[in-house]
Structure 1
Amino acid sequence: MAIYHFSNQIISRKKQQNTIAAAAYRSGERLVDERTNESKFYKRQVEPITHILAPSHAPKWVFDRQQLWNEVEKVERQWNAQLAREINVALPKELSHEEQEQLAIEFCNEVFVKDGMVADLAIHRDDEENPHFHIMLTIRPFNEEGTWGNKQVKIKEIMNGKQQIKAIHTTDWNTKEKLVYWREQWATYANQFLEKNGFPERITHLSNKDQGLETLPTIHEGVVARQLQNEGKESERIRINMERKEYNKIIIELSEVKKEKQIKERTEMFVRRFTPLEKKQLRESAKSLRLFVNFENINTRRNQLDKWHARLEFSQDSVDTFKKMNRIERETDMLDHAENILENEANRFLEKYYPNFNIEDHSKEQRIEVVETTVTQNKRLSSHEIEKVIIDLEKKQIEKDLFVLLNNRPQFVLSIQKEIQRAEKQFENLRLKNGVNFADGSTIQNASEKELRKMQFLLKQKENLNKSLGLLGMLYDHQLQAMYPNWDGRIYLSIEQKEFFVMAEEYYGKNITPEDFSNPPRKYSKDEQMEIIFSFHQISNGNIDTYKRHQSIELLNKKYPDFQTDNQSYKHMFYNECMRYSDEIGQERMNQLKSAFDVQSVFKEEDSQLERSTTFGPKSNQNSNFLSDGTDFFSILESAIREADRKWREAELEQKNKNKRHRQKGMER
C-alpha cells in the first residue's frame, strides 16, 4: 500500500559532513574529493537509478556529479557552511519501476528545478518493499550568467537609534512555509500518478491529528534500522513502529466495534435472545479470555490453544509447564461453555423467527451463520437467501480446508480416517440402540424418523469422507506418475507411503533415487539449520505478541524464500534432516528444535496410524527410529519400494495364473 514519507535534512560542514561522500553513497558511483584526493565509493547490491536535473541557466558542468559537488565544497568557505539539502521520499509501491522514475523526475523538475535548484536524484530499490528516492539539492542559487550567486545579502538598518547589519536570504528555500509546500506538492503529484494509472490508493501530507484520526503515524525506519534487525540487534525506530502498529490495530478494531454497535442500535428489530444469566456468563468469559466472544473468535482461540498444548506436551515437567497446561485447560473449558451458550441462543432464535427451519439437518456453524446474517441485515431471510448463506459458508470453509489440506496432508489423512471411524461408531450405536437389522426390513420401523435421518446423514458423511481420501490418493497418483513414470510398483503404495515420496520431492526439489538411500541428500547447511531453528524458536515463544511473531515469519521467509513455513510436510522433512545431523547442530539448538516444532505430536500420531497397518511389512522399530532420531527416513522409503514391488510381482503372477486358467477352460470347452 502507498505510504507517505517525506523527510528533509541539511548536509553541513558544521556536522562534519561532506557532499562528495553523500553523493557517492546515494548514487553508487566512485567520486574523488579534490580537497583531500580521497576516493569515495559505497557498493550497493542494487544499482541506483540516477539523474541530474538543472535549470537552463546553470553551467554545463553541473551534469558531472563529481565536479558539481566539488564546486559546492570549494564555493562554501565557512566552517559551519550549509552545503546541500537532502530530501528522502517514499515511492508508491503500486506503480511500475518506469512510472516511479517518471514521477520522481517530474516532481523534481516542477518543484525544485523550476525554482532554480540543481537536483541530484537517486532512486533506491534495495528493498522492493521500500522503493524510495534521495534528492540532493544545491542551496546556493546560480546567477543568470551561470555563476554562483549569494545565499544572503547584508543590509544596514537602524534599530533603537543604532545602525545594525542584517543578513537577508536571497531565496525562500530555507523557510518552513516552503517545506510545507514541498510536502503538499509531493502528495499531489503522487496521487495524480496513482489516479492516472488506475489505482484507488491516495496519500496525504497531513498528520493523523490534522486528519482527525486517533491512530498514530509510523516513522521512517531506514536501511540502518533494518540492517540492525537482520543482524538480530534491536532497532529503536523499528520498535517504535511495532508499538504504534499494535496500538493502531487496537484503535481500528475498537472503531469497527463502535461502528457495528451504532448500526445495530439505530435499527434493531431482530435481537439476540440471551438470558440474564447467559449475558453475565458471556461477559465473564470475555473478560477472562480477553476477546470479543463470538463463534469465529472462539474457534481461532481454540486453534491457538491446541498448538500451544501440542508444544507443551513434549516439554520437560516443571512448575511453569504445569501452570501453562492448567491455563490451557481452564480457557478450553470457558470456550466450550461460551460456545454452548451461543449454540443454544442460536437454536432459540431460529425457533422464534424460522419455525420451519429444521435444526437437526444443519450443522452448528450453519445455524449460527443464519442467525448472524439475520441480525446483521436486520431482516428475515427467505428460503433462497438461507440457502445462499449456507452455500457461501461452505465455500469459505472449502477454501480454508483446501489451504489446510495442501499444507497439512498427513494430518488431513489422519483426521479423515478418524472422522470415518467416528461416523461408523455413531451409526452402529444408533443401529443397535434401535434394534435395526438391515437384513430384516421390518426392523427399520423401530427407529424414529429423526434417528433414521441421522443414520442416513452419517452414511452420506462416510461416503463423502471416503471420496475425499480418494481425491487425495488421485492427487498423489498423478504426482508419482510424473515422478516415476517407469515404476509400476508405485500403484501398490499406501496413501501414507505416497505422502513420504511426495514430501521428499517437495523438500529436496528432486525425485529420490536408489543412490540417495546410501548417501542421503542435505538441503540446509549446519549454519542455515541453526539459524532457521533459532528463528522458529523465537516465533513459537508464547511471550511475544502476534504482530512480532508475524514480523519474525516475514524475516524468515525473506532470507529463506524456499522454506515453506505453512507446509507441515516440509517442516517434517526439515525436522528429520536436523535430527540426522543433531551431533553437528548441538544440544542447545536441538532442544530449541523440539520445543519450537509441534511435528513430534504429529509424528507420534502418524506412528500409531502406521503401526495399525501392514504397509511396511512386519511391525518393527523402523517408524519409531525415524521419529526419534531421523536416521531411518530413507530406510522407510527403501522398504516401501521393496514392499510395493513385491505386491506388484504377486499381482502380476496372479494375473498370469488367472489368464492361464482362463485359457485352459477355453481349451476344455
Structure 2
Amino acid sequence: MAIYHFSNQIKSRKKQQSAIAAAAYRSGERLVDERTNEGKYYNRSVQPITHILAPSHAPQWVYQRERLWNEVERVEKQWNSQLCREINVALPKELSHEEQEKLAITFCQEIFADDGMVADVAIHRDDEENPHFHVLLTMRPFNPDGTWGNKQKKTKEVINGKVTTMAVHTTDWNTKEKLLYWREQWAHYANRFLEKNGFSARLSHLSHEARGLETLPTIHEGFAARKMESEGTVSDRMQINKERREYNRTVIELNEAKREKQKRERAHSFVRRFTPLEKKQLKEAAKGLRIFVNYENVMKRKTQLQKWQSRLNFQADSVEKQKKIDRIQNETLMLERAENILEKEASRFLTAYYPTLEQGHYSKEQKIAIVDVSLTENKKLNHEQIESLLKNVEHREVENAIDQLLNHRPAFVSSLHNEVKVFQQQFETLRIKNNIDFAQPNSIKHAPKFVLDKLQLLLQKKDRSAQALDLMNRLYDNRLEDLYPQWKGRLHLTLEQKEWLVRAQEYYEKEITPTDLPQSPRRYTVIEQEDLLSRLYEIKKVAYPERKRLYEQLVERYPQFQPENDSYLMMFYQECQQTIAELSGNAQRQLGELVKPRDLTNDVNPMNQMYTPYPSPQYDRSRTSDFFQILESAIREANKKWKEDDFERRQLKKKKNRSMER
C-alpha cells in the first residue's frame, strides 16, 4: 500500500556537515572535497539512480555533481552557513520502477528546478519494500547571468522612530508555507501517477489529526532499521510501528463494532413495531428481488470456500474446488451461483459427518453455517448447539436484509411496485388468453389445471409483493409518527413523499420543520463536499474488495456519512447541487458523473444495482433539484387533504348528532 513520507532537513556547516559527503552518500559516487582534499565514498549494495535538474539560467557546470557541491562549499563563507536542503520522499510501491523514476523527476523539475533551485536526485531501492528518493537542493539562487545570487538582502526600516537594518530573504524557500506547499504538491503528483496507472490507492499530505482519524500514523522505518531487525537487533523505529499497528487494529475493531451498533439502532428505529414474522416477510421480499445481494456477500462465500478447501477432509477434490473458487472471482458471478456451489459442498460434508441430520428441513444458509462453525471449531456440534446456531443464523439474516433494505428503500419500493404490476399483467394476459371469466363458473371449470395453478401462483406472488408494500408503508408511517406525533397531515402523504421527509430527517439528523423548507440547511462545507465527491468518484471506478476499503476510509474520515444509503447520497448530491457554483471544476465534473441517470430495463436487475451506491433512475438529479420545494408542496397538499377530511368528519358528526336528536 502507498504510504506518505516527506521529510525535510538543512545541512549546515554549524552542524559540521558537508555538502560533498551528503552528495556522495546519496549518489553512491566517489567525490573529492576540494576544501579538505578528502575523498568521500560510501559503498552501496544497490546503485542509486541519479539525476541533476536545474533552472534554465543555471550554468552548465551544475550538471557535474562534484563541481556543483564544491562550488556550494566555496561560495558559503560563514562558519554557520546553510549548505543545502535535503528532502526525503517515499515512492508508491504500486508503481513500476520506470513510473517511480518518472514521477520523481517530474516532481523535482516542476516544483524545485523550475522555481530556481538545483535538484540533485538519487532514487534508492536497497529495500524493495521501501523505495524512496533523496533530493539535495541548493539554498542560494542564481542570477540571470548564471552567477550565484544572494540568499538575503539588507533593507532599512524605521521602527519606533529608529532606523533599523533588516535582513530579508530573496526567496521563499525557507518559509513554513513553502514546505507545506511542497508536501501538498507531492500528494497531488503521486496521486496523479497512481490514477494514470490504474491504481486506486491515494496519498494525503494531511496529518491523521487534521484528517480526523483516530488511528496513529506509522513512522518512516528506513533501511537501517529494517536491517537491524533482520539481524535480530531490536530497532526502536520498528518497535514503535509494531505497537502503533496493534493499537490501530484495536481502534479499527472498535469502530467496526460501533458501526454495527449504529446499524442495529437504525434498523430498530424503523422496524421496532414489526413482529418477527413481518420482519421475515420483508427479508423474503428483499431476497426475492435480490436487493441485498452485493460483493461483500460473494467475497464472504469465497473466503468460506477457500477455508473449506484447506481442510484435509477435502484435499481429494481440491482441483475441482479451485476451479469453483476461480469462477467466484469473476465479478459478474451472482451470489446464487456461489451459494449453490457451497450448498453442494455443505451437503457432502453433512452426509459424511452428520448422517442423521435431516438436511431437507434446513435452508442452504443454515447448512452452510453448520459446516462453517464445525470447521472453524474443528468439532462436531451436538443437537443443542445446532439449534442455537440456526436461530442465530435466522436472526442475522433478517438483520442484514433489513439493513440492506433500509439502504436501498427507493429501489426496493420501486421494485415492489414493478413486481405487483408485472404479476398483475401476467395474470390478466393468461386469463384472457384462456377465456377465463371469474364471473362465469363454466369458464373456470373448463380451464386446464396447469393454467389455474399458474394463475393462483401469480396471484400469490402479487399478494406477497403487495403485502411487502403495505409493510413499507407502515414502516414510513411508524417512523413519521415517531418524528411528528402531533402532525395529522402525515397520514395523507404518498409513499414517495413519506420517503422524502424521512430522507431529509435521516440526512440532517433532526426533524425538518416548516422553517427549514424555504432555505434548505447545510450539512457539509464546500471543502468537505469536494473531498467527499472525490472519494465517491474513486469508489465508483473500482470493484470489490477495493471498493470496501475505500468505503471504510471514507466512513473513518466522516463517521456520520452513509455511502451505501441511496437516500442519504441523494441528499448529499442535492446539497452539492445547491452550492455547485462554489465547487471547483473537477468537483463539478465528478458530481455530474456521479448522478448521471443510468439506462435500466423495467426489470430489477441486481447486477446493475447491487454494486453501485448511486441514485437509482427514479431519483435522478432532475427530480431532486428542488427537493425542499417539492417537500414543501407535498406537506402543504397533505395538510390541505387532512383539513378537508377533518371538515368532512365534523360535518358527518353534526349530521349524526342532529338525526339522533330528532
Relative to the length of structure 2, the TM-score reads: 0.43
Higher RCO (C-alpha under 8 Å, 6+ residues apart): 2
